[in-house]
Chain A
Amino acid sequence: MLPRLRRFAHGLTANRIDADDLTQTTIERALRARAQWQEGTRLDAWLYRIMRNCWIDTARSRARSDKIMAPAEAYEHVGHDPTAQMEASLDLKRLMRAMEQLPPEQREVVALVLIEGLGYRETAELLDLPIGTVSSRLVRGRTALLAMVKEG
């Protein structure tokens, strides 16, 4: 579960440093709220939701203090195929930069549906949104992403 949580953090923040910070904050908050998790319900959805709430809080307090976000850094990889790793790393950097340009409400649905592989209904439930809102944000988000990726 943790690697997936970290992946979602990368999608949500579009920033490597923020992603690791967010993962940590999320685990901490999940710890404090652990009594609220109901056995038999999906642990991943519960954690995704906590992570998203943490990120909203972070974004809010940043907007207040008018802090500038740290630029995304090259992602470090450990692997046995340096070429493939490097390509993947460049792709991730490029895609994170594009994701960063998206409004947060589009970025989160792109992250949940296209990266985490959740269904529309699951995503709508997790975000407490009507399914139509999820699909319209998804259209705008991925259309903008594709345009950015094509521009290079």
Chain B
Amino acid sequence: MTNEETLFAYIDGELEGEERARIEAEIAADPALQKMVAEHRALAGELQRAFSTVLDAPVPRALSMTGVSDAPVVSLAEERSRRDRRQSSWGMSHWAAMAATLVAGLIGGAVFNGGGTGPVKERDGQLVASSWLEDALDTQLASTQSASDPVRIGLTFRKTDGAICRSFAVETAEGVACREGKQWQLTGLLHRERIQTGDYRLATSLGSAELIDGLIAGEALDGEQERAARAAGWSPAKMP
């Protein structure tokens, strides 16, 4: 009989062409081999399924953002309706800080090594937008931006303390920045491999959606409100 390693390589889809055909013929002629193949396929399937429940298990929200590269485009409303079913089991701020730093390091390259021109800077222990990212957050409106702008502004919204936050996407990253004083503090920054095309006003990738979901109070600003907020220098709303 054929050796076990070859048989398993066949089961795992590692064989091609002639060798594959040879194994297939051998299996077809041998009921014992058929049983073995079936059992091992079932085992592999079971492992996949059982361990993949970890993927749906409550993941610290800020950390889940590192998974945006394969995240589907989902509607924000749909995401928010799932809010009740989620719970975060790990300390959020800790994870958020680590993940943001990791991504910032990967994107910026020189961000923390004294580079003065990167899009992200550390100021008083906080990550803040700088240079062209800061410019875009200051001036760009989602309603008038063009596809060629290096930064895409997504949603502009207020969080519970009244501060303005804006979600954004660039080629290699996306995130949420919130206005703190005169700067945009990065609340989350996510690595991404490819920008999803589509309307960022309505749909956003899962990573940002989760971030926004954790921050937003009420509804996102519409085009007119966004313009008014810019005119007001992105100042926080007076909360009752």
Q: List chain A positions with a Cβ less than 8 A from chain B.
A: 1-4, 6-7, 10-11, 19-20, 27-28, 30-31, 34-35, 37, 39, 43, 75-80, 85, 88-89, 91-92, 94-95, 110, 113-115, 117, 119-120, 132, 135-136, 138-139, 142-143, 145-146, 149
Take A28-B98, A35-B105 as given contacts and tell me if A113 and B55 are in contact as well, using a CB distance cutoff of 8 Å.
no
Q: Determine the chain B residues whose CB is within 8 A of the CB of A136 once the complex forms.
A: 5
B105 touches A31 (CB 8 A): yes
Contact in complex: A88, B49 (CB < 8 Å): yes
The 3 residue pairs across chains A and B that have the minimum distance between CB atoms:
A34-B105, A91-B50, A92-B50
Q: Apart from A2-B67, A3-B59, A35-B113, list 15 A-B contacts with CB within 8 A.
A: A2-B99, A3-B54, A3-B67, A4-B67, A7-B54, A19-B54, A31-B102, A79-B85, A114-B44, A132-B5, A138-B5, A142-B43, A143-B4, A145-B43, A149-B46
Give residues in B with beta carbon < 8 Å to A: 4-5, 8-9, 12, 14, 39-40, 43-44, 46-59, 63-67, 69, 85-87, 89-90, 95, 98-99, 101-102, 105-106, 113, 191
In angstroms, how far is the closest chain A Cβ from the Cβ of B194? 13
Q: How far is the CA of A105 from the CA of B53 in the complex (A)?
A: 24
**Chain B binding surface, main DSSP class:** helix
A43 contact set on B, CB distance < 8 A: 106, 191
Residues of A close to B9: CB separation below 8 A: 120, 135
Q: For the complex, give the distance between the alpha carbons of A20 and B54 in Å.
A: 11
In Å, the complex CA distance between A29 and B85 comes to 31
Please tell me if the beta carbons of B102 and A1 are within 8 angstroms of each other in the complex.
no
**Can you show 22 pairs from A to B with CB atoms below 8 A apart?**
A2-B59, A2-B64, A2-B66, A3-B56, A7-B55, A27-B95, A27-B102, A31-B98, A31-B105, A35-B105, A37-B106, A76-B57, A76-B89, A77-B57, A92-B53, A95-B47, A115-B47, A115-B51, A120-B14, A136-B5, A145-B47, A146-B39
Contact present for B8 and A138 (CB under 8 Å): yes
Chain A min CB distance to B157 (Å): 24
User: What residues of B have a CB within 8 angstroms of the CB of A88 in the complex?
Assistant: 49-50, 53
